[in-house]
Structures are given as structure tokens and as C-alpha cells.
Amino acid sequence: MKKVKFLVVALSVTSLLGFFSCTNNSKPAAEVKKIPAFDISTMDKSIKPCEDFDSYVNGNWKKNNPIPGTENSWGSFNILDKETREVKIKGIVNDLLAQNSLAKGSEAQQITDYYRSYMDTSIIEKRGISPITPLLDKILAIKDISELIALSGELDQLGFSGPFTVGVGPDDRNSTMNAVFMGQGGLSLGDRNYYENKDSSMVKIRAEFVKHVDFMFSLAEWKVTDPGKTILDFETSLALIQLKNFEMRDPVKMYNKIASSELHLLAPEINWEGYYKNYGLKTDTVIVHDKNYVKNLNQLLKSTPTEVLKCYYRWHLLSAYANVLPYAFYSESFHFYGTIMYGVKKQRPRAERAIITVNNRLGMPLGKLFAAKYFPESSKKKVSDMIENVRAAYRDRIEKLSWMSAPTKEKAKEKLAAFSWKIGYPDTWKDYSTIDIQADKLVENSMQISLWEHRDMLARVGKPVDKKEWGMSPQTINAYNNPTNNEIVFPAAILQPPFFNPDADDAINYGGIIAVIGHEITHGFDDQGAKYDGTGNLRNWWTPADSTNFAALGKKMENYFAAIEVTKGFKIDGKLTLGENIADLGGLTLGYYALEKSMEGKKRPEPIDGFTPEQRFFLGWAQVWRENMTNESLISQVQTDPHTPARWRINAPLLLMKEFNEAFGCKGATADSMRIVIW
Ligand SMILES: [Zn+2]
């Protein structure tokens, strides 16, 4: 629960809560073995590549790699994440556990004692919910809404999220300075869609949610009548006044800077003074995502009985800490948030969950040790060279675009020339030594980390942005584009096969890491990123005619993806996924032309396993995105996530590309009218 506002556009679905992991059967390899660039036994050649490229390339792989019971999906990202976690991270933790008398406040002490506190089930069971009782008592003692809002300022310091969230991050219109933001929050089911969609699967989830809340209340021995229905009713009212997820993709609409004093006019029922005082925050201005939401929230809180709101806050507190409370709470929470919502059948063993939790909560202290051990400096040079090649390919593409006029092309090239990159891990590490971690205080440890994060966030208010900061730990299998910094970032852990394989032929790497780099660069020029200039400020640099052309191309993409049904009753949300789809098409195009450029004037590489370099480029892309997924997760992804599900990240953009159709001789298979060229 990170409160610092990082406007980060990630490559892939960010990992789910620490409910799921996999059992560890893998052992560290005795020696480094070469990983094949592409294994043709994964293919199903009975399928026609032009009809279903995912099944053609990954058909046998999918058959032979069912989703483990402890997972909601299984693909390249999951496998690499599992290996990184269970071999490298576990190895680091095990080495530290073998050491004696570690200095208090050192990364080693914090990691090992947090791990021990997670593993010591006898203490966890003995303490019950007593570690959160003082906070619960404070909620119970509340007399009116004013007191409740003031108390929520204290709860929010612990990473708790009520109906509104307050965070600090770069000011989109003055990106070198930090600003305070206020947005919506506080939904147990995460997204408005889960409250209003009438599909039977969603009706079932809501019914199960009611049962889940009731059961959690009974485990805590709280005597409240129908808490589940009370919470669902309140959260449904809350959800219906919130922005839809695709609406939050418009950074111009989301930017409403007001004087802090104006909050009192928008929402007089909310005790802002009390909230800010307990939250520890002083600010003259705040950037509100949606003023109407603040107004409507005022009405909703005014018309809701205090007892209902107290019930709601108790529920959120209990649910937020369920993972670190006695087993019965974790197990029930897993049943709902793992099995019901994502189709995960089996719980992960406790030791696996301990590693995941330590990795999630102490990601940077652990990442410091990870980077020192596992990231060769030579990789930095290799990847930075690749980034510069893609930058050059992008420049060529911009010059050739037929839909964009010369003045906008100049501005686009300026922005392109200005972006920076980060590779591997941060140059400097923050001081985490004040986080007080104790081997027998699991809940308090979680709170201490949240408090450290909170203080770290408050220290930014009114200060310049630290442009060197990272928004992901080095051991994360992902990448991101940060538009307010005009930068792309590649953590150490993604620079491994199948994304980047030093032993592979170029074509496979161009379809893997190079297309991924192209994807991240293109985010600076997708429907959202294109609204920011080269200095990371939200400022229009487009001529009106070019802006209209770009929007029309986006509309074509939106309609194309919105027609795809991924499972019965659920289609891709063309608006929500637009930025990612533009980035995939852009990344593929850039990767492809960077490969062509790299072969210019050289002897053409011989086909490998009968595939030309162009064909292998697309095999490389499909290998990266191969994935099996539970139906529940698929439904969740299309309703809440800006990324198109993996199968259609392969099949959908390729059919738009004449380069793909040519490589596999699909001429006539797709109409020219389907082709879309944006970048
Ligand atoms: Zn992306």
C-alpha cells in the first residue's frame, strides 16, 4: 500500500497481494546452464499462425504447463518471478538467517527478524487480534463523524485506505516540485465494476463478499448484525460516486489544484483540520482528482449513520491486517481474495508467504542486497546501448509518419531526445535503519514499515522531486515509464531470459527485451503520456490537427480491442487498455525496425529451426507473453487492469501489422483496412 504518488505505467500486471505463491521444488543450479533462445517443442504447428498466433507458438507449452494450484496465472512473468524469489531472494534470506548478532537497524537484522516474526506461529496465535485492539478501541469510542474523520488521519498513516486517499508526488504541471494529491479509495473489492456489473459471476462475488465479512466478524467475536450487508451497501454507494477506472486515465481531467481552504467549501461535513493534524500534513494547496467526488462523498457521509461508518472502519482495519493475524483470519481472507476473486485453489506454504511478505514490505533493503549479488555492471552497458538503438529507430519512424505535421514532429523528437533511463537498481539507497523490526511483533513490524513510508512521504511536501528515486525494487519482474520524469526504468530482474537472453540470436531478443523497451518508450507517446512534454510537465505540444488525427487513431484502436470477447460475457475495455495497446503496437513496430536496421549491410542470418529472423522476432514476443490464467483472473483483469490479457497482447496487435502478415505469409488473411500505424 504505497501512498507516495508515483504515476507509473508498468509493463505488466503488478503482482497480486501476497496470498499466492508456489511450492518450492526448484534447487539452485549447480552451474549456469544455457537457456535456449526459443524451444520449438512449445509450438502447436497444427494451428495456423495467421489465425491464432498464440496457440501456434505456445499451444504445447500451454498444454504442458497448467496453472499450479497456488497461482492465478502461469506464464513467463510468473516463472521468472518464482525463480528470482525462490532461488535468489530465498538464498539471500537463508544466508542472513545463518548469521549471528546482526546490528540493530541493519538491512540484515530487519529482513531476518521480519521473516522470523512471520514464521513464529505460536506467538502469532497466542497474541490473537490483540495487536490491533488499541486501534479498534479507538474506533469503538467514536461519537460522531467529525471524530471518525480525525481518527482516519491516524489510521491512514498505517497504510490503511478510507474513502479518500492523500498522497505526495510530482506536481504534473510543475514536475520538479512535489505536491499533495487527493483521490478516491476505500473499496474492499478494489474497483467500481465489482459493485455495479450485473453479470452472474459478479453477483456471486458480491454474495460471497457478504459471507466473507460476516465470517471475519464472527472470527473476531464482534457482535454486529449483518455486517457483510452493511459494508456491501455502504461500499456500493461509495463506488457509484467514484470515477470509472478509464476516466482516471485522463491526467488533465484529474488535475484540479485548489487551496486547502476550499476543501471546507466542497465538503463541510469532513473534518479536514482533524484529519490533516493526525495525518501530520500541512499544505496550502491540494490537487484533487475529482471535485464532484469530494462533494458527493460529503453528502454520502452526512447521510450515513455513524454506527455504519464505524463498522466500515473496523472492517477495513481487520481486513488490512488479516494476512498477519492468526491463521484463521489469513485462511478466510485467502478463501475470498484468493479463491473466490482470482480462482486460486491452494494456499502457499507459510515459508513462501514469509518470503513474499518480506520482499513486498522490505523491497528496497532486500533489493540492495539482491542488486549487489545478482546484477552485473556489464548488463547496464548492454541495455543502455539497446535503448539508444530503439531511440534512433523511433526518430526514424517519427520522420516518416504520414499523419503528423512537421511542427508536431519537431516537438515529438524533442521529447524523444529528452527521455532518460534507469537500469538495474538505484544509485543511492535510502536510510531504512529507523524501522524498528522485532522478531516477535509481526503486526507491529508491518505498522512500523508503513509509518516509515508515511514519514518518507511527508518529508517530500514542499520539496523538489528526487529525480533519482525508483518506483520499483530491483528484484521486480517488470518495467515502467514515469511521465513526470520523462524516463523509462528497467529493474535488474527483468534483464533475464526470456526477456533478455545473452545466448539467444538477436531476433529473439529484439522480440523480447527490445520490444519491451519500445513499449516503455511508446508510453511517453500514448494517449496519456503524449499529454506530457519532454520536461515531464502536463503541457500540450500538439497542433490541433495532429491532436485530432492522433485521437482518431486511438479511437480505431479502442474499437478494435473493445470488440474482443475474452471469456463469456466479458470483452476487453478499449478505453481502459488504450495506452497499453498503443504501447504494444509501438513496441512491436520499433523492435521490428530496430532489428531490420541491425541487419543492414550485413550477411543475413540463416534461418534457425526453419524460421527467418523476422519470424523469430514475433516468436520472441509470443514467448514473453505466453500465459495460462484462471477464468476469475481473466474477468478481474478485463474489468480493472489497463493491460490487455496476455493472449491478446500476442494475437491482437500482430494482426494490425503488415510486417507480421508478410513474415508469415498471411497476405489476404487480414484486410488492409484493419492495419493501424500510430508510431
Ligand atoms: Zn505498459
**34 C-alpha to ligand 1 centroid (Å):** 29
**588 C-alpha to ligand 1 centroid (Å):** 12
Q: If residue 219 lies in a helix (H) or strand (E), which one and from where to where?
A: helix 200-219
**573 C-alpha to ligand 1 centroid (Å):** 15
Q: Mean per-residue pLDDT for 36-51? A: 96
What are the pLDDT digits (tens) for 226-267?
999 999 999 999 999 999 999 999 999 999 999 999 999 999
pLDDT of residue 655: 93
**654 C-alpha to ligand 1 centroid (Å):** 16
Specify the higher pLDDT residue, 377 or 497: 497
**527 C-alpha to ligand 1 centroid (Å):** 12
Cell of 321: 491486517
Please tell me the class of the 142-347 domain. mainly alpha
- Judge whether 310 and 139 are in contact, CB under 8 Å: yes
What are the pLDDT digits (tens) for 142-162?
999 999 999 999 999 998 889
Q: CB under 8 Å to 116, separation ≥6 — which residues?
A: 97, 439, 440
Cell of 506: 538477436
* Distance separating alpha carbons of residues 232 and 230, to the nearest angstrom: 6
Q: Does the pLDDT value for residue 32 go beyond 70?
A: no
- Judge whether 314 and 321 are in contact, CB under 8 Å: no
Q: If residue 174 lies in a helix (H) or strand (E), which one and from where to where?
A: strand 174-184
* Distance separating alpha carbons of residues 92 and 86, to the nearest angstrom: 10
Q: Does the pLDDT value for residue 594 go beyond 60?
A: yes
**583 C-alpha to ligand 1 centroid (Å):** 6
**388 C-alpha to ligand 1 centroid (Å):** 19
Cell of 618: 514475433
What are the pLDDT digits (tens) for 433-465?
999 999 999 999 999 999 999 999 999 999 999
What are the pLDDT digits (tens) for 272-327?
999 999 999 999 999 999 999 999 999 999 999 999 999 999 999 999 999 999 99
**145 C-alpha to ligand 1 centroid (Å):** 41
pTM: 0.94
- What is the chain's mean pLDDT, rounded? 93
DSSP E strands in 25-159: the ranges are 73-75
* Distance separating alpha carbons of residues 26 and 31, to the nearest angstrom: 14
Specify the higher pLDDT residue, 14 or 403: 403
Instruction: Return the C-alpha torsion angle 66, 516, 526, 5, nearest 10.
Output: 80
Residues with a catalytic annotation lie at 520, 584
**423 C-alpha to ligand 1 centroid (Å):** 17
Please name every residue paired with 538 in a beta bridge, in sequence order, or none if there are none: 532
Q: If residue 478 lies in a helix (H) or strand (E), which one and from where to where?
A: none
